[in-house]
Every structure is written in structure tokens, then in C-alpha cells.
Amino acid sequence: MNEIRFHVNTRLAKLLSENYRSSEKALKELIDNAWDAEADTVKITLPEPLTEQAIIIQDDGSGMTENELRQEYLFIANDRRIRRGEITKNKKRKAKGRKGIGKFAGLMAASSMKLETWARGRKCTFVLTKEDYGKAEDIEKLPINLDSQKDYEIDHGTRITLTGLNQGFTFPNADKLRQILLHEYGREEDFNIEVDGKLLGIDDVKGAYTEYEKNLPDVGKIRLRFTISNQRKNLRAPGISIRVDGKIVGKPEYFGLEEANDFPPKLLKKLYGEIEIDGLIDHVTADWGALVENSELFEAVKKDVFPVLREKFKQEYGQEISLAQARLQKRINQRLQELPEYKRKFAEQSIKSILERYYGEPESKVEPIVSVLLDALERTDYRTILEYINEASHSDIAKLAEVLNQFGLIELAIIGEQANSRLIFLEKLDYLCRNSSTEEKNIHDLLAKNLWVFGLEYSFFSSNITLKRQVEDLLGKTYSGKRANKRPDLLLNMNADNKYLLIEFKRPNHSLTYTDYQQATGYRNDFLPFIENEIKVLVIGGKKGNDLLNLKNHEPNTDILTFSEMISKARNQLNWLLKQLGADTHA
């Protein structure tokens, strides 16, 4: 039996170099190599169009020894992840190199690629040209002259020089290259990229760039730099990064825009920026992973920054939002005209809010939402029924009784619709509570606005002033200093029975302990000297720990609930209500 084998034609190198859709994409591949080499800085020099100037890419990464060049770099399709793992050794970066063909990227835009690399006191150099591999029959027999010599000019790093640029291709565009690199590396702290002497930055995002500085009481100077992108493609890792004492803290923030009911969520992905707040140095967690919860100083920053961001979005996208509203408005004007005047004004305001909230969504998706709103307004007419009642009171008793019966039927219908809507809400809430990634704040905001979940007796609690204001008014001295951020999650004003409600939330995956119970009742003890009325305490978490399960007696007016118990109780009440409504309807 005769042995046969594949032969690799040198045309493979040409095919590999043409594997990129643009010269900018090809250059990005070479910068990925610098990332994998754990470089701190990459400097890219681009030529003027239609000149003989070279493209130069230089990094201060680890460089390559002669042995690494022979055994690894010149090994085509050698997967770096298999060879060295998916994470780099020192900087723990996720490696980019996958296919082992990035070395040919430069030959897409140029006919010659010179590689110089420094490591361990030696410099290795070789040149690869399209002409050379065009003459060779087998890529494995392609002659490459490697020069290795002592050189202490540079400790470590690599420089690639591309010459003989392909005049048939569009020359690399600095702005386009910056956009590609921002998408990939814009949020990397320890990887600086210079293009033609300019450091890659926030102002390189295409769109409206803004700088804002201010001195805030107790916070000090804040410096905000952001761009609202006008590109169709969404940004990678959008939002405003928080930098304290030179370090990035946590994930990018939206400073309240994500919570505004009339702000289109799709526009959040157009925001890219950074804010320096050195005054929050004492409000950063030990691992620099986040700001401490309930930081009053950060809340002050958010309150100041929110209108700045919102106003800039209004300037950039307000006209587009208005045009989208106008197109849909034409189709609903006829139905609006058929509504009574007092309803029309409310409908217009509500529709405007819906259109702003769903900016960017297809009109086919938004129109049904508007239609449901108009249906509800057309069908539920309290005013008309009340007018009938008023007229009937001047007529006979039978007429008045008939109209009052009509009013009752409308009330029943509304209660039924509301009960069904609340069941849907509970289903979604249950999903959130079962998701381990759900944070305490997410649940807190939901339940603070939907107190009926705890039971009918809690539905009418007033929460017209913030907890912060309540604590300042009543316990300004108690919650100061080290205890400034240790206070209850929610304290609601008196209900119809002149009772207060104090709620302590824990995240859904937290097991409640006796310490949590003591914390909540301790809050009540803090308030008691200042509040004469009764204070009910609710402690809510994912499940009850053993020390709470075995707790036989606890303080009066104190309930300990898991989220599943709370949701189950609310669901049973609504199902009972719907059953009774059905019975009344058929009676």
C-alpha cells in the first residue's frame, strides 16, 4: 500500500488574507494579537490616501522568542486556546486568537508584511510578501528568512509594518477603524489604543459628544463625558461607566433613565460615556465591584446627571420621536374625535407617553397597545353613568334603581379586568423571584408600587414622601455616620386605620435569618419614640432559615414571609374574587 498526503498550495495564504470584509477588519485582527500578547498599549499609524506610506502597528506585549516564532506563530491554523488556554497568563484576559490565521490579515491590504518582535534581549525579524508565496508551489516550502540578533532597544513587544498597499482597496479609514475598536475594546481599562497619535476615547463614538462638570455639595467635582450615538448598530456595553480615584467601579449605569416611564428603552443602547466622581471613594465596596447600596451621595449625583442626559437625548432624538408619533397619530385621530372632550385630553397624553416609551419599535407593535387604551376609554364611561344617576334622582325610584344597578355592573366588570391583570402581574413577579440573578432593588421598586400584593389591607397605604425624607424628618441623628446606609427599605405612612407599615426586603435568593428579623424589629424600635401610631413590620425574603422556622413566638404586628408565600396568598385571593364575580354574574 502506497502512502499519499495532502499538499497545501501557497494560494491558501492569499485566500486566508482575503477572509476579511474590509482593511479595517483585517487590522483589527492584528490588534487582537496584541491583546493576546498582554500588551498595555497599541499604536497604529495609518497612511495618507494614495501615498506610499506604510501602516505600522506596534505594541508593548510579551513579544516572541525565535522558538515561539518557529513552533507557534508559523504554525498555520494552530488554535491558541488549545495551546495556551482561553485565558492569558498574567492579565487573565479572554484570548481572541482562535483560528491561527490572523497572521495573514495584513496581506489583505498590503503586498509586504514585515514583523519585528523583541523578547529576552533578542530581536527577531522576517518579511512575508505576496510575491514570495506566489512563486512557491507548497506553502510548507515557502522560504522565509528569519533574522535573530541581540537587541536591547526594546524590552518586549512587536511591530508590524505593512508596505505596498493595495491601491485597489479603500485605504484604511481612521474613523471607521476607531468605531470597530471601540465596539471591541472601548470598556477595557488596561488596554490603550492609539490611532494616528490619538488615544481611543468616548469622543470617537459617532454622534453628539458632551462634556459636563460641576461641584456638588459633599461630593465635590464630577466630570461627565458622554456621546449619544447616531449609528444604527447598538453599542457594546452601553451606559455611563463610573470612575472613582482612577478606577472603574461596577457596571455602566443609566442614572435613572432606565426607570423613567416615558423614556424609550431602546435609546439606552445609544448612550456611551464615563463619569469621574472621586468624592465617592468611601462609598465603594472593598472589591471595587460596586458602590455601596443606598449611597446618598451617589443619589445626589444621579439626581444632577439625569436631566443632563435626558435633555441631550431630547435634542438628538426628540424630532424623530415626534415624527413617529405623528405618523401613528393620523390613524387614531378619528377615534380620538369620537371620545368626549374630557376623555380626549387624557387619551392624547397617554398615547404620547406610549409612543415615547416604545420609540424604535415597529408601528405594527405599538398600534395594538394604543388600540387597547382607546377601547378601555370608549367602554368604561363613569361620567355617563353618573349623569344618568343624577337625572334619575329627579325621576321615579324604579328608574334610579335601574341606573344604580348599571353602575354596579360596570364596577364588577372593572374589578374583573383588574383581577385578571393582577394575576398576570403575579406570574411575572413569580418568574423574577425564582431567577437567581434578580436583585433586591428590582423587587423593591416593583412591590413599592404594588402594595396590593401583600393583601387588600395594604393597598391604600400612602407613600407620597420618600424614605430618605421620612428618615431625615424623624431619625436624622439615628441614621447618620456609620449607620447612614443602614435603614429600612420602605416605611409607608398611615393607612385608613392609622397604622404605619415598615417593610424590610431581601433579595429572592436570600434565606431569611433571625438576624434579619432582629434588624427589621430594631428599625421599628428606632421609630417608636417618634411615632405614636402602631407600626406593622413585614420581613420578606427567598425562604426561611432554620432559626426562623423554629421561632415559636415573635413580636406582635410582625410578619415573616417568603416571596412564594406572598405570591401564593395574593393569587388565591384574586382567584377567589374572580370566582365570586362569576357567581354574581350568573345569579
Contact 61, 39 (CB under 8 A): yes
Could you tell me the pLDDT band of residue 419, with boundaries at 50, 70 and 90? confident
* Mean of pLDDT values over 438-461: 74
Q: How many CB atoms lie within 10 A of CB 210?
A: 19
| 78 has a pLDDT exceeding 70 | no
| 114 has a pLDDT exceeding 90 | yes
199-217, pLDDT tens digit by residue?
998 888 888 999 999 999 9
What is the identity of the amino acid at 442?
N
* Mean of pLDDT values over 4-24: 54
Phi, psi of 125 (to 5 degrees): -140, 140
* Mean of pLDDT values over 416-420: 75
DSSP secondary structure letter of residue 291: B
Average pLDDT over the chain reads 78
Q: Determine which of 247-261, 310-324, 401-415 has the lowest per-residue pLDDT on average.
A: 401-415
Q: Which three cell numbers, joined as nine digits, stand for 266?
A: 431602546
The pLDDT assigned to 121 comes to 92
Distance spanning both ends of the chain, measured CA to CA: 93
Contact 256, 306 (CB under 8 A): yes
C-alpha–C-alpha distance, residues 371 and 350, integer Å:
12
Q: Which residues, in sequence order, are bridge partners of residue 216? A: 220
Q: Which of 6-15, 35-44, 244-253, 505-514 has the highest mean pLDDT?
A: 35-44
C-alpha–C-alpha distance, residues 92 and 506, integer Å:
33
C-alpha–C-alpha distance, residues 499 and 513, integer Å:
26
151-161 in b/e form (b: 16+ CB < 10 A) is: eeebebbbbbb
The pLDDT assigned to 267 comes to 87
Q: Which three cell numbers, joined as nine digits, stand for 524?
A: 421599628
493-525, pLDDT tens digit by residue?
666 566 778 888 888 888 888 888 888 888 888
Phi, psi of 311 (to 5 degrees): -65, -40
The DSSP annotation for 35-79 comes to HHTT-SEEEEE-PPTTS-PPEEEEE-S----HHHIIIIITSTT--
The better pLDDT of the pair 141, 306 is held by 306
- Residue 503 to residues 96, 477, 498, 547, 579, Cα–Cα distance (Å): 48, 21, 17, 20, 31
| 427 has a pLDDT exceeding 70 | yes
DSSP element (H, E) containing 150: strand 147-150
| 16 has a pLDDT exceeding 60 | no
Domains located in the chain, CATH noted: 11-195 (3.30.565.10), 201-310 (3.30.230), 319-420 (no CATH), 431-575 (3.40.91)
306-342, pLDDT tens digit by residue?
999 999 998 888 877 776 666 666 667 777 777 766 6
What is the identity of the amino acid at 311?
E
The better pLDDT of the pair 486, 198 is held by 198
Spatial neighbors of 505 by CB under 8 A, at least 6 apart, are 440, 443, 444, 447, 489, 490, 540, 541
